[in-house]
């Protein structure tokens, strides 16, 4: 109960940051989807060829190593969280956190936009079963980690560089704990489960 209350209080205290980063992410998604239209015909054909090869392998019954897929995808997302954590330790890293969140939105928007643009409703269906499930966990994890990083960075600016007071230990431990919690949260992502046996 106390933990849930503490989390609610944390979200309430940092609600402006949550809203700001969420809006930035959505803008990235829209930008990524629009980027699909900027591709040249040769680029679209090349990407379609690679995508077609993937589907052909799946239809032919090619076996995918789900464990290897999990390790690779989990490692990639953990590196993303680690970068956010590192950027949050410095003032100069503050805008880089925003860049990462925007870029994440661009990547997702581009992927879904391309699938829908090239495969119509089949692309939408594929995006729903392959892209959406893992991102239902990944996106909130990155959102929470980003808010924690920005909150800590802002705390450093206010309490260490401006007023020269306030302890760093407790805010740092809370910041690091939230990042580690989001890392554990990522263990629940269905990496490769939707496409490995299709």
pLDDT on residue 152:
93
The answer to which of 11-25, 27-41, 67-81, 99-113 has the lowest mean pLDDT is 67-81
List Cα–Cα distances, 51 to 89, 130, 148, in angstroms. Answer: 39, 13, 37
Residue closest to 35 by CA, chosen among 120, 102, 132, 126: 102
How far apart CA 198 and CA 192 sit, in angstroms, is: 10
Tens digit of pLDDT for each residue in 76-121?
Answer: 889 999 999 999 998 889 999 999 999 999 999 998 888 888 777 7
At 198, the pLDDT band (50, 70, 90 cuts) reads very low
H or E stretch at 30 = helix 15-35
List Cα–Cα distances, 28 to 88, 101, 167, in angstroms. Answer: 21, 8, 36
The pLDDT of 128-149, averaged and rounded, is 89
The answer to which of 17-31, 37-51, 91-105, 133-147 has the lowest mean pLDDT is 37-51
Backbone φ and ψ of 64, nearest 5°: -110, 135
The answer to which of 100-104, 112-116, 135-139, 190-194 has the lowest mean pLDDT is 190-194
The pLDDT of 170-187, averaged and rounded, is 91
pLDDT on residue 105:
95
pLDDT on residue 1:
39
Contacts of 75 (CB under 8 A, 6+ apart): none
């Amino acid at each position: 109960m106390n933990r849930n209350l503490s989390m609610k209080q944390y979200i309430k205290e940092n609600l402006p940051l949550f809203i700001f980063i969420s809006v930035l992410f959505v803008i990235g998604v829209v930008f990524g989807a629009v980027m699909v239209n900027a591709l040249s015909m040769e680029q679209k054909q090349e990407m379609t060829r690679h995508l077609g090869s993937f589907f052909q392998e799946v239809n032919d019954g090619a076996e995918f190593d789900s464990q290897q897929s999990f390790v690779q995808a989990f490692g990639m997302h953990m590196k993303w969280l680690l970068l956010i954590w590192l950027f949050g330790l410095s003032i100069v890293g503050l805008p880089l956190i925003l860049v990462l969140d925007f870029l994440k939105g661009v990547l997702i928007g581009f992927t879904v936009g391309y699938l829908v643009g090239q495969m119509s409703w089949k692309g939408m269906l594929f995006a729903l079963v392959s892209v959406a499930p893992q991102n239902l966990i990944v996106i909130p994890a990155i959102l929470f980690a980003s808010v924690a990083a920005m909150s800590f960075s802002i705390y450093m600016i206010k309490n260490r560089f401006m007023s020269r007071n306030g302890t760093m230990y407790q805010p740092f431990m809370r910041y690091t704990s939230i990042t580690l919690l989001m890392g554990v949260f990522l263990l629940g992502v269905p990496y490769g489960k939707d496409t490995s046996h299709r």
